[in-house]
Amino acid sequence: MTILIKLFGTLVSLGAGFVATKVVDAVWEKSTGNKPPKDATNIETSLRDTLVFALVSASVGAIVNVLTQRYTQKAIARFNSTPDQV
């Protein structure tokens, strides 16, 4: 059952990462009026915008990663303490 919980945690992490990426993109586009600077070959976007977007994206990704790992660890601990009730 622990493998299933870890697999579920991985799926939750992937889903949360996908949703977080879409949210960051939407917030960036709404706040700046421009599409997120994801294309490295596009010289139209400023270096400042690219660096700020990279910093925001990485920060959100790290937060999502930590939260999903904690959720998975809590689920594993809960399962190990009461395996017959799950």
Please spell the DSSP secondary structure of the chain, one letter per residue: -HHHHHHHHHHHHHHHHHHHHHHHHHHHHHHHSS-----TT--SS-HHHHHHHHHHHHHHHHHHHHHHHHHHHHHHHHHHH-TTT-
Higher pLDDT, residue 10 or 56 = 56
* pTM assigned to the model: 0.78
Instruction: Write the pLDDT tens digit of every residue in 16-55.
Output: 999 999 999 999 999 999 899 988 788 888 889 989 999 9
Provide the domain count of the chain.
Answer: 1
Q: Tell me, what's the pLDDT at 85?
A: 58
Residue 58, in any domain of the structure: yes
pLDDT tier at 61 (50, 70, 90 boundaries)?
Answer: very high
Degrees (nearest 5) of the Cα angle 37, 69, 28? 20
Domain that holds residue 74: 2-32+44-81
Which among 1, 5, 4 is positioned nearest to 73, based on CA atoms? 5
- Amino acid, single-letter form, for residue 7: L
Residue 48, in any domain of the structure: yes
